[in-house]
A = this chain, B = another copy of it.
């Protein structure tokens, strides 16, 4: 099973999109895919009948998260392009300056929401990876661990993209609110990663 090199080529190119925000969303989607795989390798096996119902629910949710995070790959690039468009608006007259400044602020707020959603969704993937590490087939225990590691890195990577957008915003109330949310997500993600890695290493 090969994969499409053109996305990787696009990342490496001198175009700023797709960049770190899109890459973080893609890695979150990969983590969700690994979580789904552990479910698929467990559900329906006689030995795991007791957990099949629960893992079927997990699978439904991890597949939704995988699709959503895959869409956020493109959303992030589009939101960045909107910011660039706002920066290119004319800035001769005071009126033009005001319109431009307002549009930059609005576009940057929009560009903050995408990586924030990546953080929220990737945190949920991390929670699901803990369930599959506990209850999935032990044959796939390393896959559950990789799912957790990748979900954590999607949270951290997306957070850097939230932060760089916040750094150019004027609306301090907005900035404070988002930053508080991010701190909560990051500390929960760090705790979960530590827990899942301990569990995975004890089962290997």
Interface residues of A, Cβ cutoff 8 Å to B: 1-14, 16-21, 23-24, 26-27, 29-34, 36-37, 40-41, 62-63, 66, 70, 73-74, 77, 139-143, 145-147, 149-150, 152-153, 156-157, 160-161, 163-164, 167, 200-201, 204
Contact = CB atoms under 8 A, between A and B. Distances in A.
A8 B17 CA distance: 21
10 contacts: A2-B73, A3-B7, A3-B70, A12-B34, A12-B62, A19-B37, A149-B160, A150-B153, A153-B153, A160-B204
A10 B2 CA distance: 9
Contacts of A6: 1, 3-4
Nearest to A166: B204
Contacts of A70: 3, 5, 8
A59 to B, nearest CB: 9
